[in-house]
């Protein structure tokens, strides 16, 4: 998935950046074209560190011999101080082995870069990310987990890339369903000061049932006869009365009745208390400043319809206003025949705000994949009217990042043992409890770094482990696919898990602490990179910036997890092959400590892109 059409960013410390510039100049000198050199990391270190693969495609276009063209390109390339050895292989690959001193310089630059070599953002427009999206008076469920942590992770990536990011929590806080809940609570004489979210959730469901006239509506639609309709009208008289009461409450809310508005605000307050608690538990940056729900747009909806009518893009259909599309039969309904507005109307108003007022050149909607058709219609309507542009006229990229469902072991939507839908609170509580139990069990070992810690300290680390397990399992996979929620697998300290990466970080921190060397002394130590495992680790560290840029380009958060898993694997290989604290001499010891320090910093920063805490001890 390509997110942005902007010019390509190149990391400042990545050797591939220097190779790209030099081989691009060589290709221009030989062919006159500004072709991509196609720099790729080698898959086998014995053939070199990088491959330059452009000669095959260029030779095909020119009708020449690719190997001969590769030789000409290599001869024209200025690689002094960059490459130690180059050779032509196969039909025209150029294998490049970096100069060791150049590799050291690149790693040295990265270690002193506050952005790990990520260059300043080229696009000064904002990135807007629609995330979380809870409904007032309803419990957060596991679907909100994905909408929240995926959106937060992408926001963190773009912030790391230097972009201005707006996290937008589009609350479902307006309309008839909220008024139905309000009306029932008022009628029951509820004490709004003592309401809990469980109370609201129960009332919301009861109000839906109380006002339902499904059988009566069906009888009328299918012409079941006057006697049956009359019978059902009597039966559903209380439901119709409850609905009328709800509509009157909605009218009072819409007209600004101070008492109803105060009670409505209390519903939002109760709902958001749990949202903010979940955000704190998940280490997600979502607060009151991110809320811009349906109520925010209520005074803009008439203007949306008017704009589409005046532009000739909307037309009346049986009293309703629709936006037809040339390439599909379904239109987009933006106003009902009774004058009411719809989700689509609100979403169009939100698109306009996010592109024009928030200056978003990229607007990402992290919403359930089942909403695909809805967002396609909304985005296409926005493009028709020209609302997909920033204030200065740059075209904005509108993306629906749909995600799959969280499943139980039976491959069905996750449920509790009693068969109820898993609330997000239940899921997070269980994750924290399981993480704490595992950390506490390990702390019983007298040799464990956590041995002797207080229960409160173990609980703090255990909660971080449990949340890391959940977040990593979610974010490191294909976001569009369903996945099975399995805490036993997720919380393992081995394998491809969040706790494993946290443990790798804690292990490196322990090595540095045991060294007895100051951070300043380690940071000043010259790098040697003499062993192949040291070089492999250094090369991977230097790819961190490109990985982050690639996530910003593709919106694929799993790239972060794949990078970090490989980083931990390469570090383990280095640590096994190269004694650190017991190195043969002081120079090697300090060099390896510095490599440990750089790896730890990159690992911690990478975990932060998932909002995962990197403990010093585990």
Residue 305, domain CATH: 3.40.50.620
- What is the b/e burial string over 536-559, where b = at least 16 CB atoms within 10 angstroms of the residue's CB? bbbbbbbbbbbbbbbbbbebbbeb
For 240-263, what is each residue's pLDDT tens digit?
899 999 999 999 999 999 999 999
> What's the confidence (pLDDT) of residue 380?
98
Instruction: State whether 315 and 376 are in the same domain.
Output: yes
pLDDT in tens, 188-231: 999 999 999 999 999 999 998 888 866 656 666 767 777 665 66
Q: Which pLDDT belongs to residue 460?
A: 97
Range(s) of the domain holding residue 590: 424-608
* Segment 146-192, tens digit of pLDDT: 999 999 999 999 999 999 999 999 999 999 999 999 999 999 999 99
What pLDDT score was predicted for residue 318? 94
Q: Residue 232: is its pLDDT beyond 80?
A: no
Residue at 196 is within a domain? no
Written as six digits, the tokens of 396 are: 């904005």
How does pLDDT run across 313-326, given as a tens digit for each residue? 999 999 999 999 99
Residue 307 has pLDDT above 90, yes or no: yes
* % of the chain surpassing 90 pLDDT: 86
pLDDT at 5: 42
Looking at 50, 76, 98, the residue that finishes a domain is 98
Together in a domain, 133 and 162: yes
**Quick check: 4 pLDDT over 60?**
no
Asked if residue 392 and residue 429 are part of one domain, the reply reads no
Alpha-carbon distance 137 to 267, whole Å? 6
Is residue 228 in a domain?
no
- Does 504 lie in the same domain as 453? yes
CATH code of 443's domain: 1.10.730.10
Q: Phi/psi of residue 316, each to 5°? A: -80, 140
DSSP string for residues in 89-128: ETTTEEEEEE-HHHHHHHHHHHHT-TTTTPPPPS--SEEE
For all residues of the chain together, what is the average pLDDT?
Answer: 93
Residue 329 shares a structural domain with residue 437: no
Q: Please compute the mean of the pLDDT values over residues 65-93 and round it to a whole number.
A: 96
Give residue 236's pLDDT band: very low, low, confident or very high (50, 70, 90). Answer: low
**pLDDT tops 80 at residue 505:** yes
Mean pLDDT of the region 91-110 = 97
pLDDT digits (tens, 9 = 90+) for 567-585: 999 999 999 999 999 999 9
pLDDT of 233 reads: 63
Does 140 map to a domain? yes
Distance of CA 603 to the CA centre of its chain: 18
Kindly report the three-state secondary structure assignment for every residue of 119-183.
CCCCCCCEEEEEECCCECCCCCEHHHHHHHHHHHHHHHHHHHCCCCEEEEECCECCCHHHHHHHH
Let me know if residue 235 belongs to a domain.
no
More confident position, 445 or 493? 445
Residue 106 lies in a domain: no
Same domain, 319 and 391: yes
Nearest to 368 by CA among 528, 488, 479: 479
**Domain presence at residue 52:** yes
The 8-class DSSP code of residue 291 comes to: B
Number of H helices, E strands in the chain: 23, 13
Domain boundary, last residue among 53, 83, 98:
98
Same structural domain for residues 541 and 399?
Answer: no
Cβ-based neighbours of 471, under 8 Å, separated by 6 or more: 149, 153, 282, 498, 610, 611, 612
Same domain, residue pair 454 and 397: no
Q: Are 297 and 350 in contact (CB under 8 A)?
A: yes
Residue count (the chain): 618
Question: CA Rg, the chain, in Å?
Answer: 29
- The CA distance from 32 to 69, in Å, is 13
Q: Which of 50, 82, 98 is the C-terminal boundary of a domain?
A: 98
How many domains does one find in the chain? Answer: 3
Structure tokens given for 505: 């970080």
> Is the dihedral angle over the CA atoms 528, 580, 578, 51 positive or is it negative?
negative
Quick one: pLDDT band at residue 553, thresholds 50, 70, 90? very high
Taking the C-alpha atoms of residue 362 and residue 129, their distance in angstroms, rounded to an integer, is: 8
Same domain, 496 and 350: no
CATH code where residue 32 lies = 3.30.1360.70
Question: Is the same domain home to 308 and 392?
Answer: yes
Give 281's pLDDT tier (boundaries 50, 70, 90).
very high
Q: Is residue 4 part of a domain?
A: no
Q: What digits encode the pLDDT tens for the residues 108-120?
A: 999 999 999 999 9
Identify the pLDDT of residue 361: 98
| Inside any domain, residue 110 | no
Closest to 525 (Cα-Cα) out of 597, 421, 470, 606? 597
Number of neighbours of residue 340 by Cβ within 10 angstroms: 12
Would you state the pLDDT for residue 510? Answer: 97
What are the Cα distances from residue 321, in Å, to 9, 36, 309, 312, 334?
44, 50, 8, 11, 6
- Do 397 and 477 fall into the same domain? no
Is residue 79 located within the same domain as residue 138?
no
pLDDT at 417 over 90: no
């Amino acid at each position: 998935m390509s997110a942005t059409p902007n010019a390509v960013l190149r990391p400042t410390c990545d050797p591939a950046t220097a190779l790209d510039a030099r081989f691009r100049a060589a290709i221009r000198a030989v062919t006159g074209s500004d072709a991509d050199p196609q720099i790729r990391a080698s898959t086998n270190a014995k053939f070199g560190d990088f491959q330059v693969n452009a000669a095959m495609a260029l030779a095909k276009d020119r009708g020449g011999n690719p190997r001969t063209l590769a030789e000409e390109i290599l001869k024209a390339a200025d690689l002094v101080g960059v490459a130690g050895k180059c050779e032509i292989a196969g039909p025209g690959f150029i294998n490049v082995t970096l100069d060791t001193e150049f590799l050291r310089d690149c790693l040295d630059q990265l270690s002193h870069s506050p952005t790990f070599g990520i260059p300043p953002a080229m696009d000064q427009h904002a990135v807007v990310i629609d995330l979380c999206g809870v409904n007032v008076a309803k419990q957060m469920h596991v679907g909100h987990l994905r909408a929240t942590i995926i959106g937060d992770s992408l926001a963190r990536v773009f912030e790391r890339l230097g972009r201005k990011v707006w996290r937008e929590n589009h609350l479902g806080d307006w309309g008839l369903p909220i008024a139905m809940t309000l009306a029932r609570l008022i009628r029951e004489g509820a004490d709004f000061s003592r309401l809990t979210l469980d109370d609201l959730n129960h009332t919301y469901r009861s109000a839906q049932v109380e006002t339902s006239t499904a059988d009566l509506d069906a009888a009328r639609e299918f012409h079941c006869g006057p006697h049956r309709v009359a019978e059902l009208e009597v039966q559903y008289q209380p439901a119709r009365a409850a609905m009328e009461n709800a509509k009157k409450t909605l009218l009072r809310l819409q007209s600004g009745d101070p008492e109803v508005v105060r009670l409505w605000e209390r519903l939002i307050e109760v709902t958001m208390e749990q949202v903010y608690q979940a955000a704190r538990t998940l280490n997600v940056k979502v607060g009151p400043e991110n809320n811009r729900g349906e109520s925010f747009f209520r005074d803009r909806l008439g203007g949306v319809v008017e704009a589409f009518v005046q532009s000739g893009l909307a037309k009346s259909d049986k009293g309703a206003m629709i936006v037809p599309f040339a390439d599909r039969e379904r239109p987009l309904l933006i106003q009902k025949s009774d004058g009411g507005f719809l989700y689509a109307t609100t979403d169009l108003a939100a698109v306009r705000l996010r592109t024009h007022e928030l200056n978003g050149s990229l607007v990402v909607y992290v919403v359930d994949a089942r909403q695909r058709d809805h967002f396609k219609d909304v985005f296409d309507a926005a493009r028709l009217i020209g609302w997909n542009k920033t204030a200065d006229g740059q075209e904005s990229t509108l993306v629906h990042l749909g995600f799959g469902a969280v499943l139980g072991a039976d491959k069905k939507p996750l449920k509790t043992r009693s068969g109820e839908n898993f609330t997000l609170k239940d899921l997070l509580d269980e994750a924290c409890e399981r993480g704490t139990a595992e950390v506490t069990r390990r702390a019983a070992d007298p040799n464990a770094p956590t041995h002797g810690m207080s229960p409160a300290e173990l609980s703090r680390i255990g909660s971080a482990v449990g949340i890391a397990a959940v977040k990593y399992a979610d974010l490191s996979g294909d976001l569009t696919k369903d996945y099975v929620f399995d805490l036993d697998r997720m919380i393992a300290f081995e394998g491809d898990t969040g706790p494993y990466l946290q443990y790798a970080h804690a292990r490196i921190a322990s090595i540095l602490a045991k060294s007895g060397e100051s951070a300043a002394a380690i940071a000043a130590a010259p790098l040697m990179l003499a062993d192949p495992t040291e070089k492999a680790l250094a090369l991977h560290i230097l790819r961190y910036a490109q990985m982050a840029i690639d996530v910003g380009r593709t919106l694929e958060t799993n790239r972060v997890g794949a990078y970090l898993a490989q980083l931990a694997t390469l570090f383990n290989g280095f640590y096994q092959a190269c004694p650190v604290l017991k190195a043969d001499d002081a120079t090697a010891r300090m060099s390896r400590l510095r490599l440990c320090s750089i790896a730890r910093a990159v690992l911690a920063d990478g975990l932060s892109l998932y909002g995962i805490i990197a403990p010093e001890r585990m």
